[in-house]
Amino acid sequence: MLRACWIIALLSLCACDQSRPRQAPAAEPEPAAKQAPPPRRVGSEEEGWSRVRDDLQIRAGVPEGAALPGSGLTITLMFRNTGTKPRRVYLIKGEPFRILQSTFFLDRGDAGPPVQPGPPPPGYVVTEADFHEIAPDETQSFTQTLRIPADLAPGKYSVRWKYDNDIDRWEGGSVTLDGYTKPLFGGKPIPGIWKGTLEVSFDVVVGKT
């Protein structure tokens, strides 16, 4: 009798254990979805940028406020590489020597646009430091002074900035007032050099003196 009672009790415990809800094993966390890389910035004419040509575009940064006649306005020259490989831009460090390379055209209406900078003085020797490498998706900035004519009336004026380069190697041997030029980059094609012309316009406000 005692044995029978013991067996019945044991069966009851088993039944109770089976009737309890069993906790499902914890699901392993799903691996985080890989985020797609952000789209490459190809550049556009918005926000003052020029069109893109051969993975390069330019923009001019103008200080806030009005400029005074007879003063100099520091313009930030921005070059952006929109491509996947490094590009190199030729921009002489000395501002007075940038004529026909980095040129400002100030629109004065009937008076005609004065061109800046003017004819360069002698004495500048171009080196490899004048060829600036820009990494992909990076921007390099330089400065150049816009001279506000002293007789310019107050108002808003349009300025066109033109960047131009047709040099892809510097073999040396040219005669200058300072002697013969030396070869740069071994006289071979300059790595990543950009050739062509880019233009962008911006406005300058001139106040009263």
- The CA–CA distances, whole Å, from 121 to 35, 102, 127, 204 equal 55, 16, 17, 27
Tokens of 174: 């040219």
Please give the pLDDT value at position 120: 84
In one-letter notation, the amino acid at residue 30 is E
- Compute the half-sphere exposure of residue 26: CA atoms within 13 Å on the CB side of its CA: 2
pLDDT in tens, 139-184: 999 999 999 999 999 999 999 999 999 999 999 878 776 677 889 9
Whether residue 122 contacts residue 177, with contact meaning beta carbons closer than 8 Å, is answered with: yes
Q: Sketch the domain layout of the chain as residue ranges.
A: 46-206
In terms of C-beta density within 10 A (0-12 exposed, 13-18 middle, 19 or more buried), how is residue 117 classed?
buried
184-200 core/surface letters (b: 16 or more CB in 10 A; e: else):
beeeeebebbbeeebeb
Question: Rounded to whole angstroms, how far apart are CA atoms 41 and 84?
Answer: 10
Greater pLDDT, 28 or 137: 137
Fold (topology level) of 46-206: Immunoglobulin-like (2.60.40)
| Closest among 164, 162, 94, 100 to 129, alpha carbons compared | 94
Q: pLDDT for 89-132, tens place per residue?
A: 999 999 999 999 999 999 988 777 789 998 888 778 899 999 99
| Distance separating alpha carbons of residues 205 and 171, to the nearest angstrom | 43
- The whole-number pLDDT of residue 46 equals 59
- Please write the tens of the pLDDT for every residue from 23-37: 334 444 444 444 444
Q: For residues 167 and 163, give the distance between their C-alpha atoms in angstroms, rounded to a whole number.
A: 13
pLDDT at 52 over 90: yes
pLDDT of amino acid 178: 66
Residues 43, 49 contacting (CB under 8 angstroms)? yes
